[in-house]
Amino acid sequence: MTVEYQSVAYPVVELTLPKWGVVKISTIDLCEKLIDQSGNPLSEEAEEIDDDIFFYVSSKEIKLPIDQLAKIVLADIL
């Protein structure tokens, strides 16, 4: 699965997490295109996309098996 922003496709993975259900994970590369350094969305479209993404990981981590990716996300948010 991918999300397109400014004509670039970014990977998105859906995970099922306890307490949160099905969530979308994408890459820090996408986050850096959507949000400025102060944490503000760069456009209305960027805000809509960011609102749909639960968590951002590295480009390397997004390629891991689902169970490993879930462990990374849970370790960071719990």
**Tokens representing residue 61 in the block:** 């981590």
> Could you tell me the pTM of the whole model?
0.92
What is the model's pLDDT at position 78? 82
What is the model's pLDDT at position 26? 98
Which residue in 21, 8, 15, 18 sits closest to 61, CA to CA? 15
pLDDT along the chain (78 residues), means of 10: 97 95 97 95 97 97 96 92
Distance, CA of 56 to CA of 61 (rounded, Å): 10
